[in-house]
Chain A
Amino acid sequence: MNKYMCKYFIIFVLPTLTAFLLSFLIPFILGVLLSFTEFTSIIDAKWVGINNYVEAFSNREFVNALKFTVKIAIVTVITVNFFALVLALLLTRQLKGRNIFRAIFFMPNLIGGIVLGYVWQLIINGVLYKFGVTLSYKPEYGFWGLVLLMNWQMIGYMMVIYIAAIQNIPNTLIEAAEIDGANWFQILTNIKLPTITPSITICLFLTMSNAFKNFDSNLALTAGAPSRKTAMLALDIYNTFYNTLNGEGVGQAKAVVFFIIVSAIAFLQLKLTRRKEVDSL
């Protein structure tokens, strides 16, 4: 880099880069290193090799959180995308008030996880009250509560993406099929679904990654009750760090495992959608 460019590098890139180093890159590298140590603050770390990882995987709460998160992710990926696709197909027909319907279904997505959690706590506990129990009575209640909440939160979002994709299908394709005498089901399975496959892939991964990373609504809705059985991965890592004595090392190791899982999902998506933007520079 010559002197001229160097000067402008300082003005254009350095502010962003400084913030990026301080709040992301240095913490990230430190985090990886600290996961192999025992520590209570950054400076008193003692090297312990892979002990933290061994401890993390022999920790029943972590294994349980892992299973619980995978189960939630599978169920929400299927339900959210099914309902979102059905709504998108209905709301791309010529229909009175379809813009208002779209707006209503999308709205919950803007509300933060903490608020969503307490809204659904009221509704679910209100229903369960008739049976004399609450959300924290059985882990299954928390599981289906979270599934319901995440459906409510994400269906509208995915619907909007599907609508955009369906509207991009050239009209001539569908008209030609209609002239050839195709019924709506044939148009759906032979034209609409195949043309929007890229969007379906994006939405499946987006839902999965959102489900894996969920923290706020998990904390507000169940906070892990009963006895941390409904804690998802992010909440379990938080609990290990801040609500466990000397939990920092193990917490950091769990966080690295969490990071590996989430990035594996992201790389798989990259492979499948082959996004050109990322590879172009």
Chain B
Amino acid sequence: MKKNNINILLFIFLFILSALYLSPILIVLLNSFKGKLYISEQPFALLNEENFYGIKNYTVGLAKTGFFNAAFLSFFITVLSVGLIVLCTSMTGWFIMRVRNRINSLLYYMFVFSMIVPFQMVMYTMTKIANMVSLDNPVGIAVIYLGFGAGQSVFLFSGFVKSIPMELEEAALIDGCNPIQTFFKVVFPVLKPITITVSILNAMWIWNDYLLPYLVIGTEYKTIPIAIQYLKTGYGGIDMGAMMAMLVLAIIPIVVFYLICQKYIIQGVIAGAVKG
């Protein structure tokens, strides 16, 4: 009986806490329907006849940011980059774990080393090189993401490869498969759990990334984070109404994605944190 009471109190406490935890997002949602002036003066007031502004913030915001273009571009870059990263780094991770020699060991250590280098260290020089070799476009940026994501992704794939037995691969090779067939027909299906982890970690990073795409393609193309930052810097004064509406639109895809793949996201985050 006593334990039951504690659990009820705990439930009420956690209920209030999680409501508070969600409240910033709900307040933004609420304000996205208010007129500009009411947002900065009474952000916590509920909607009423006086402050209600309909969906005008959304129409103005969409026009100012080109949000749908930005969302499409973010989606395009994320999918292309994650696809490229998964394909290339799974192959590399498997190869350098199975073919042991000095070059592969050196490569492995370089990949691991790159995981700890902060972006600002290479920000300027990388932007210049991307510009010189014409990678400064929405397709080329996937190659840059491959180079940056390689460290963690190769590390995760190699770690996983080490834990799977070699018998299957050897059998395939004896049966006359070449290494490419062996990899795609036998190894890659076995890598599925770590492939999901690598995809989720990279997708979360690339979708939300601001500085890299801003520096590399930002003058011509806008992803969602760039479009939102542009609302502040691009038009002199900041239009709070449009800002609130765009924040809501930026959060919706993330929440939908989270609701669909919650299990995988949490597994991926744990694997990435503990091993990465």
Contact = CB atoms under 8 A, between A and B. Distances in A.
B7 A122 contact: no
Given A107-B258, A118-B243, A129-B40, A16 B10 contact: no
B225 interface: yes
B18 interface: yes
Given A101-B14, A103-B262, A281-B108, 5 more contacts: A13-B91, A13-B104, A23-B147, A91-B14, A105-B21
B258 A110 contact: yes
B260 interface: no
Given A90-B10, A118-B228, A122-B43, A42 B128 contact: yes
B164 interface: no
Contacts of A248: 124
A19 B146 contact: yes
A256 to B, nearest CB: 7
Interface string B242-276: 01100100110011011000100110011001110
Interface in A255-281: 255-256, 258-259, 262-263, 266, 277-278, 280-281
A5 interface: yes
Interface stretch (A92-100, A136-144, A173-181, A189-197): A92-100
Interface string A86-122: 0000110111110011011111111111110011101
Most buried by A among B146, B204, B225, B274: B274
A49 interface: no
Contacts of A278: 112
Most buried by B among A27, A31, A266: A27
Nearest to A260: B121
B59 interface: no
Interface in B211-255: 211, 224-225, 228-229, 232, 240, 243-244, 247, 250-251, 254-255
B229 A114 contact: yes
Given A1-B101, A93-B7, A213-B118, A119 B28 contact: yes
Contacts of B119: 213, 215, 234
A192 B105 CA distance: 38
B52 interface: no
Contact of A20 (B150, B159, B240, B257): B150
Interface of A: 1, 5, 8-9, 11-13, 15-17, 19-28, 30-31, 34, 41-42, 90-91, 93-97, 100-101, 103-115, 118-120, 122-123, 125-126, 129, 152, 157, 160-161, 164, 199, 202-203, 206, 212-213, 215-216, 219-220, 233-234, 237-238, 241, 248, 251-252, 255-256, 258-259, 262-263, 266, 277-278, 280-281
Contact of A122 (B31, B100, B101, B265): B31
Contacts of A42: 125, 128-129
Contacts of A110: 204, 208, 254, 257-258, 265
Given A5-B99, A16-B146, A241 B24 contact: no
B110 to A, nearest CB: 7
Given A13-B96, A96-B11, A114 B118 contact: no
Nearest to B99: A5
Given A216-B225, A263-B117, A126 B44 contact: yes
Contact of B92 (A13, A114, A120, A160): A13
B89 interface: yes
B122 A263 contact: no
Interface residues of B, number: 99
Nearest to A254: B120
12 contacts: A5-B101, A16-B88, A16-B154, A42-B129, A90-B10, A90-B14, A96-B7, A118-B228, A125-B40, A202-B274, A234-B120, A280-B162
Query: Interface majority SS on B: helix, strand, loop or mixed?
Result: helix
A238 B89 contact: no
Interface in B44-95: 44, 88-89, 91-92, 94-95
Contacts of A21: 147
Interface in B114-158: 114, 116-126, 128-130, 133, 135, 143-148, 150-151, 154-155, 158
A123 B24 contact: yes
B103 interface: yes
B207 A255 contact: no
A215 B120 CA distance: 10
